[in-house]
């Protein structure tokens, strides 16, 4: 078994026109969240679910800017294309299975109940630190 992080991205390239979630109806939001719960339940039944969280669209990139200096930020909000909508950790037998789970997650309904086809980034957990050779 290997752990993978499935990152739900806010990205502009979608197969169907899709407004930001704050423009959806309450019923559309409820259907989307119910589907995400359904995906988690399916993964639990297979023994593959580890954890998941939705994230707020607000965020700031921060980095160290030198001793005694305040953290450097990019402003109050990151660019929309760089934001992560949420994440799920799964523990599956293969990268192919991780891709299947990500594709299922990507089919979550959006406005009008249509699958939004959002991008899901599949990132394996690092099992061992990199080996340094001289």
Contact 48, 101 (CB under 8 A): yes
Q: Which are the contacts of 60, defined by CB distance < 8 A and separation ≥ 6? A: 73, 74, 75, 76, 77, 78
Distance of alpha carbon 57 from alpha carbon 107, whole angstroms:
20
Contact 50, 18 (CB under 8 A): no
Q: Check pLDDT > 50 for residue 13.
A: no
Is 3.30.70.1060 the CATH classification of the domain at 2-57+72-124? yes
Q: Who wins on pLDDT, 48 or 119?
A: 48
Interval 98-118: pLDDT, tens: 999 999 999 999 989 989 888
Parse the chain into domains and list their residue ranges.
Answer: 2-57+72-124
Tokens of 36: 């995400």
Interval 48-70: pLDDT, tens: 999 999 888 777 778 888 899 98
Per the prediction, the chain carries an average pLDDT of 85
Distance of alpha carbon 3 from alpha carbon 49, whole angstroms:
10
Distance of alpha carbon 35 from alpha carbon 109, whole angstroms:
7
């Amino acid at each position: 078994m290997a752990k993978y992080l499935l990152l739900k991205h806010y990205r502009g390239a979608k197969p169907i026109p899709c407004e930001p979630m704050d423009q959806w109806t309450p019923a559309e939001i409820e259907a989307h969240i119910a589907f995400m719960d359904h995906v988690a339940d399916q993964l639990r039944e297979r023994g593959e679910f580890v954890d998941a969280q939705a994230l707020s669209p607000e965020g700031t990139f921060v980095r160290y800017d030198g001793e005694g200096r305040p953290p450097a930020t990019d402003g109050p909000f990151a660019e929309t294309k760089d934001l992560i909508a949420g994440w799920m950790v799964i523990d599956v037998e293969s990268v192919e299975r991780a891709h299947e789970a990500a594709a299922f997650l990507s089919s979550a309904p959006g406005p009008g109940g249509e699958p939004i086809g959002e991008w899901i980034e599949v990132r394996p957990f690092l099992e061992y630190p990199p080996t340094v050779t001289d």
